[in-house]
Amino acid sequence: MTSRTPFPSPTPSRIAGNDPDWWRGAVIYEIYPRSFQDSDGDGIGDLRGITSRLPYVADLGVDAVWLAPFFTSPQKDFGYDISDYCDIDPAYGTLADFDALIAEAHRLGLKVMIDQVLSHSSDRHPWFVESRSSRDSAKADWYVWADPRPDGGPPNNWLSVFGGSSWQWDSRRRQYYLHNFLTEQPDLNFHNEEVVEALLNTVKFWLDRGVDGFRLDTTNFYFHDAELRSNPPDPDVPDHKRIEAYHWQDHRYDKNRPEVPGFLRRLRALLDLYPGSATVGEIGQGPRSLELMALYTGGGDKLHMAYTFDFLGAAFSAGHFRSHVARFEEVAADGWPCWAFSNHDVVRHLSRWRGHARDDRKLASLAAAILLSLRGSVCLYQGEELGLHEAELAYEDLVDPYGLRLWPEFKGRDGCRTPMVWDGASPTGGFTEGKPWLPVSAAHLARAVDRQRADDTSVLSEYRRLLRFRRDNPALVKGSITFVENAAPEPGETLAFVRRHGDSAILCLFNLSADPAEFRAGADLSGVIGTGRDRIPLEGHQALFLHIGPGGQALPPAGTGAGLTASSSTGDRTEPRSTSGQSSLT
């Protein structure tokens, strides 16, 4: 596929002074606009509210913000159903408000990435209104339409992520249209060249407006099988996923199609005209997710980076983290991952993993230390840095269509989308002066920003230290990763790897168990950590970083403590010691 759309180059002033590879190893802070900060008292967060809070985000030490959708939308799926790709929904503000947000973010040194939902639009989008009006309309083939079977049923067995068939009957055209999500979210037809060019031009609109990149929603859904073949059953679906019929299928024909990389190359060609712009794609979950992430980011001509849902589930073990990262390193070649533990679509990780910890503050610090040490870029979700759990909501408070449909087996996504808490003394957490669109969790108020900001032992302070430590050590930002074995007779739930960049190397040690453990250097670290350091005790949920010199010797700690560990020097030896949750990152 080759683009027929002429894209002019941007003005040099737009990219002056930028590192075009800023995204490689960047920490990206996800903002859910509806829940971050309300500026006008209507109970819904907005762009002006986000702009007013950007100094807080910059002070954390992250590199960029990712804004979930704020485009014109009927809000059936809260912005992921777009009716105008090139305008702002009035609930969130205006284009002038967006321009002011961009200017303030750039003044603070923050890049701005926005959600781009290309796979589907709202059924209120003018494109779909015209497409469904007639089989002979100019946009008749802009969406995926199919005739019914002879018995009137849908053309195949494809299922919607949100439940039921992914085909919706339309009486005007007397055909079915495809919707992988809500019926109000019809899928665009990427096999149509006019559709591809129109979507690329919406991307260009925002690049010209100054955005630094895009988070691409449901990247592996862009294409469908043109023959509309039915999916085969998935013989390996785990029992806990059988509550959703969607997981019973091997989705080889309704997504993950071989045409996707061709479109991504065209998208990358457009972004390459805007040096310093970047993409991060959402791949989702499935047995081939890591391979797709590698495919979509390899070669330097498609996505810059991508993430999957592999770390967004219930699994929490050293083996799980090691196997998935190592698998990506094995298949990725020159690809680049972006790791996340939480986002706006899943239960917050402290709730998913709470059964593995006696102290959730320790778990929050440990999780942050692991995430910020992996090779790749990182996405943090608003409130993650406060150690927030999933909010407990009553059924009558739910607004998420996914949760309303699957209740009570699945409670939806509202629990991770409740408003950000800034002021612990305010019943609305300082989010709004009106009635918030979702209730503010009373349990969250004790962890509000103002309650943690001045507390050196808080989760917020720990995130700041870890982010500063990461930024000060290039090995953690852009270095390689090599996993090492724990040669202790009972290694327990320990995770160990070395990050290297040039002459800099850091040994990263983590005890994922609440019980004490010991790390012993094996043959793969022979002579690396020096005499007297071959056995390192680790307390429960402890993280430890040790600098390694060019010759393999252990160096005095210029910031070797993280998570729950600090270090002290005695002569030319470095001894780890527990600090009950505090860090000493210098």
Q: Mind telling me the catalytic residues?
A: 217, 282
Q: Indicate the DSSP class of residue 552.
A: S
Evaluate whether 199 touches 143 at the Cβ level (below 8 Å): no
Evaluate whether 25 touches 499 at the Cβ level (below 8 Å): no
Residue 506: partners with Cβ closer than 8 Å, 6 or more residues away: 473, 475, 476, 479, 498, 499, 545, 546, 547, 548
In whole angstroms, give the CA distance from residue 386 to residue 443.
Answer: 12
Residue 500's DSSP bridge partners are: 480, 505
Residue 187's DSSP bridge partners are: 120
Q: Indicate the DSSP class of residue 371.
A: H
Report residue 40 CA to chain centroid gap: 28
Count CA atoms within 13 Å of residue 68 on its CB side: 24
In whole angstroms, give the CA distance from residue 421 to residue 384.
Answer: 11
Identify the H or E element spanning 262.
helix 260-271
The Cα diameter of the chain in Å comes to 84
Helix/strand/coil percent split, the chain, to 5: 30, 20, 50
In whole angstroms, give the CA distance from residue 387 to residue 382.
Answer: 10
The CA angle 215-216-218, to the nearest 5 degrees, is 135
